[in-house]
């Protein structure tokens, strides 16, 4: 498709669109968890049992909510991009095991898996030139 071949010139814009879209959605999902307080953090943090972590669920739930919310913002602006991708990847791995361990199966875990794959790829690609971290 020759008419699409020139889009390669706009890869940094494509990364910006990806960062803004993913970041906004992670803020949308993370902010209510962050504002939910210790009771909700404990529920979210209990998911770590599926990866063998059976202590401090309130702490882990807070960390997951903060990673989604603050990480979403940092994705949008492109600051600390690779560390954020790594933290979100870890959060999504736990979410994947939580869905599978909770009986949702692969179809229930598919969204977490898809996002984990995206963050794994972005970890290698970087934020692009339209970011605070640009090189």
Cβ proximity of 89 and 124 under 8 Å:
no
- Collapsing DSSP to helix, strand or coil, 55 comes out as coil
Q: Which residue has the tokens 């963050």?
A: 119
| pLDDT digits 0-9 by tens, 44-69 | 999 999 999 999 999 999 999 999 99
Domain that holds residue 120: 11-125
Considering the domain boundaries, does residue 56 fall inside one? yes
Task: Give pLDDT, residue 2.
Answer: 74
Considering the domain boundaries, does residue 41 fall inside one? yes
pLDDT of residue 24 exceeding 80, the answer is yes
* Of residues 72, 78, 71, the one with CA closest to residue 16: 78
Considering the domain boundaries, does residue 5 fall inside one? no
Considering the domain boundaries, does residue 81 fall inside one? yes
The token duo for 110 is 């598919």
The token duo for 48 is 């770590």
Considering the domain boundaries, does residue 6 fall inside one? no
Considering the domain boundaries, does residue 118 fall inside one? yes
pLDDT-based confidence at residue 8 (cuts at 50, 70, 90):
confident
DSSP H helices, the chain, are 11-35, 37-45, 57-77, 81-101, 105-125
Task: Give pLDDT, residue 135.
Answer: 63
* Of residues 72, 65, 67, the one with CA closest to residue 19: 72
Q: Which residue has the tokens 């008419």?
A: 3
- Name the domain count of the chain: 1
The token duo for 64 is 């997951």
Considering the domain boundaries, does residue 130 fall inside one? no
Considering the domain boundaries, does residue 3 fall inside one? no
Length of the chain: 135
């Amino acid at each position: 498709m020759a008419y699409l071949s020139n889009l390669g010139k706009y890869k940094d814009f494509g990364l910006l669109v990806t960062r803004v879209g993913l970041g906004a959605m992670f803020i949308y999902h993370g902010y209510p968890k962050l504002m939910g307080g210790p009771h909700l953090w404990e529920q979210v943090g209990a998911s770590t049992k599926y990866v063998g972590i059976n202590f401090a669920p309130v702490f882990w739930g807070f960390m997951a909510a903060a990673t989604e919310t603050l990480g979403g913002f940092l994705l949008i602006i492109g600051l600390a991009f690779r560390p954020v991708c790594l933290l979100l990847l870890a959060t999504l791995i736990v979410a994947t095991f939580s869905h599978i361990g909770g009986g949702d199966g692969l179809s229930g875990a598919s969204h977490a898996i898809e996002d984990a794959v995206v963050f794994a790829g972005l970890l290698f690609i970087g934020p692009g030139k339209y970011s605070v971290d640009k090189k």
